Amino acid sequence: MPPNKEKLIQAWMVIHKDELFADWALAVKGEEPFRIEPLR
């Protein structure tokens, strides 16, 4: 993966950290995760 793309993904993960953890918890329970806004 190009380094500049990796930095964008890491920044997106920091911004959406709480949403990612909440979706992970839902997925572990077999529930449908919420949609998280994609990179633009």
Q: pLDDT tens for residues 10-38?
A: 999 999 999 999 999 999 999 999 999 99
- pLDDT of 1 over the 90 cut: no
* Per-residue pLDDT at 33: 97
- If one counts the domains in the chain, the total is 1
* Per-residue pLDDT at 40: 79
Domain that holds residue 31: 1-40
- Distance, in Å, from the CA atom of 25 to the CA atom of 18, rounded to the nearest integer, reads 11
Burial class (CB in 10 A: 0-12, 13-18, 19+), 14: exposed
pTM above 0.85?
Answer: no
